[in-house]
Structure 1
Amino acid sequence: EQPGAAPQGAVNLLQMRNRTDSGIDSYRSILKSEEPQESGDISGPREKFSAVEERLDSAYGSSSITGESLSELVQSCEISSVQEEQETQSSELSEQEENLLTTITEEGDTFLHLAIIHEDGVIIQHLIDLFPKEVLDIQNNLYQSPLHLATYLNLTDVVKSLVEKGVSLELQDHDGNTALHVACQHGQTECANEMTQNVSPSKLAPVLETQNWRGLACLHLAALNRQHQIMKVLIKKGADLNIQEGTSGKTALHLAVEQHDVVSVKLLLKWGANVDAAMFNGCTPLHLAVGRQDATISDLLCHAGADTMLRNMEDETALDLADGNDDILALFPFDDIQISGRSVVGVKY
């Protein structure tokens, strides 16, 4: 160990200052029981985590800390009951309670992260009741908040309790995903409901617009993963149907076409998605459908009013991409007059 290095198991809280809404330092500043402890000199339950060698939040079932030992650690802190807290709101927190609030592992997990990983409902609820919002929003070294983990594990009741406590829905993990992104990707419909149904539009709107590091908003992920129920939830809550993902400018309709997902295409068109939305290269959903020789979706788009004469940056119309497919060609007008290869008068079959 190098001279001056922090003891094994200690966490350099200074490294967390750049973390979004980490909560540790801000909460310590309002604790009345004692002055903040020095970085690397945190006593109490933290020392019991110094031997943890495996990543808890990336290997839910493999950990040297069991649910039983976690329960013992929490109980050892002699947490006050809700009734006792209400009766002594103005009193100072005990040293043990402060340790429980501020202790994190080398991987950045709080007691609540660990309780969620071990799916211990009693301890989870106890900690949610005890912890203030600043601590509930702490993100671990993978930038996962307790809400992220609860969503990954599809713990609907935990998600509900966290949302009711007012946790941030905008926090992004190391992939740029909010908890709602996670729900859309993994089909956690009930979790998505809990994160949207009783949330004000002003609080939800930024989440629906947030793009992860791949440039995908929640609606994009739901479309990519054929999560039709979640798509309905997002649309009803005001998700922008025509929001473009950040890499190529595809909308959810483009993505649904690429997936050959007729249900999603019908759903998006029904709710008013722009049938002629253009990607950064000028391709519309019809270009993609024809290019993929998908006559069924091409027909849906044409009946929804898709403009068959729009050209992409390669100066191609959807007709140019039909490649002799008679079923698709039957959807397009034939050319009576052409000037330099462009149709001037078109007549429907």
Structure 2
Amino acid sequence: MANNDYEKRKVDPSEDGQIDSGLDSYRSLNKDYQGMKPTQGSNTEDNELNNDKLDNLSGDRLDSAYGSSSLSVASLSEIIQNCSISEQPAAESTEFYSEQEVNLLTSVTEDGDTILHLAIIHEEEEFAHHLIELFPKDVLDIQNNLYQTALHLATYLNCPPVVRGLLQKQASLDLQDQEGNTPLHLACERGRTDCATEMSSHTPPRQLSDVMEMQNWGGQTCLHLATQRRNHRMVKLLLKKGAKLNIQDGTSGKTALHMAVELHDVELVKLLLNKGANVDAAMFNGCTPLHLAVGRQNVDVTLVLCRSGADQMLKNMEDETALDLADGNDNILAIFPFDDIQISGRSIIEMKF
């Protein structure tokens, strides 16, 4: 049963020869596609649930009518079954393709989605694999109006087999969406560890290293995002693949260790330190992880940092040492040595008896 949003978005078939919105287009397409694959016992409730999944993806992202009426649902099965499109050497035109193939390659929705985008959105995995085999790399890398590629969408919907198929056809891993996220950034942000594993396994090391150093528009690398989500498994995967441990974010200069300290995640702090994180790394304001731990009155993290050799005398831009931020917390103060008389963390004279 169509929802109110869908009814509002319906397109009058008499206008410009267009069919109904992408959702109805997909229903027809899906019905036509059933002749290409075995029926899997779907029922009415399953279909309604599947159709509702799209509306739950994002408040800003819904399918629209096809921008070109040249792609007909009736001809889609025939195109899939009877043509095989591959990249042509030095091809700069469409002369190598039939008219039907060109229609399939160039048709997009008003939101900039190709038929491959739609197949992934509607979680038609087998259909998506057919299209991946059919399309050349340039089409696989088409970005919609939100700058999402098919690889972004497959990652968002946590479909590792489609991610693998796209990467095996050399889909680009370094394209950024409207938030500046590559598909690997998105995997780290959404906790799609299996998708990230596929990316790390099917991407050349140099290219993967470049992607892991890229920052999104918030100044965050993949390691920063994985750390913020407290995803220890993802952090380990990134470090194993060569992510730079002490890279700073672009807004405040925090490293992953700073972020782990802010999260009060003792185990993650230990993990990063054991992997070689710089215990005295300074943010743009001069604060070290120890400043953050003491300022947040976190005894356990403070103890771990001190035992790892954190310099207790380093000052931030406010001319404060970490001890200056203890605020009289006896548990914190007990961690620091009191062999000397100190004022504002500065040794004045050694006590002798």
Q: For each residue in 1:133-166, what CA deviation from the matched residue of structure 2 results, as whole angstroms up to 9, or x when unmatched? A: 1000000000000000000000110001111111
Report deviation, 1:171. 0.5
Residue in 1 aligned with 2:334? 330
Residue in 1 aligned with 2:76? 75
Select 2:253's aligned residue among 249, 254, 257: 249
Report deviation, 1:330. 1.2
Partners of 1:233 and 1:110 in 2: CA distance: 32
Report deviation, 1:93. 2.1
Look up the SS of the partner of 1:79 in the other structure: helix
Please list every run of 5 or more consecutive structure 1 residues that lacks an aligned counterpart in the other structure. 1-8, 10-45
Map 1:139-178; keep pairs closer than 5 Å.
139-178=143-182
Residue 325 of structure 2 corresponds to residue 321 of structure 1: yes
Going from structure 1 to structure 2, the CA distance change for 1:135 and 1:281 (only over 3 Å counts) comes to same
Greater RCO, CA 8 A, separation 6+:
1
Report deviation, 1:48. 4.7
User: Do the aligned residues in 1 keep the contact of 2:290 with 2:312 (CA within 8 Å)?
Assistant: yes
Select 2:289's aligned residue among 261, 285, 298: 285
Partners of 2:19 and 2:132 in 1: CA distance: 21
Map 1:37-116; keep pairs closer than 5 Å.
48=18, 51-52=21-22, 58=58, 72=73, 75-76=76-77, 78-80=79-81, 92-116=96-120
Residue 306 of structure 2 corresponds to residue 305 of structure 1: no
Residue in 1 aligned with 2:135? 131
Partners of 2:75 and 2:271 in 1: CA distance: 48
Q: For each residue in 1:272-318, what CA deviation from the matched residue of structure 2 results, as whole angstroms up to 9, or x when unmatched? A: 00000000000000100010010001111111111111110111111
- Percent identity, aligned pairs only, is 60
Residue in 2 aligned with 1:223? 227
Residue 206 of structure 2 corresponds to residue 202 of structure 1: yes
Report deviation, 1:80. 4.4
Residue 197 of structure 2 corresponds to residue 193 of structure 1: yes
Residue 237 of structure 2 corresponds to residue 233 of structure 1: yes
Q: Output the aligned Cα RMSD.
A: 3.2
Report deviation, 1:85. 6.2
Moved more, 148-157 or 321-330: 321-330
User: Do the aligned residues in 2 keep the contact of 1:196 with 1:237 (CA within 8 Å)?
Assistant: yes
Partners of 1:224 and 1:104 in 2: CA distance: 36
Report deviation, 1:264. 1.2
2:245 aligned partner, one-letter code: L
Going from structure 1 to structure 2, the CA distance change for 1:266 and 1:341 (only over 3 Å counts) comes to closer
Residue in 1 aligned with 2:262? 258
Give the TM-score normalised by structure 1.
Answer: 0.77
2:124 aligned partner, one-letter code: D
User: Do the aligned residues in 2 keep the contact of 1:249 with 1:280 (CA within 8 Å)?
Assistant: yes
Partners of 2:318 and 2:246 in 1: CA distance: 23
Going from structure 1 to structure 2, the CA distance change for 1:136 and 1:48 (only over 3 Å counts) comes to farther
Look up the SS of the partner of 1:58 in the other structure: coil
1:220 aligned partner, one-letter code: H
1:78 aligned partner, one-letter code: I
Look up the SS of the partner of 2:340 in the other structure: strand
Q: For this pair of structures, how many residues does the alignment match?
A: 298
Residue in 1 aligned with 2:347? 343
Partners of 2:144 and 2:350 in 1: CA distance: 61
Report deviation, 1:99. 0.6
Going from structure 1 to structure 2, the CA distance change for 1:154 and 1:59 (only over 3 Å counts) comes to farther
Going from structure 1 to structure 2, the CA distance change for 1:227 and 1:346 (only over 3 Å counts) comes to farther
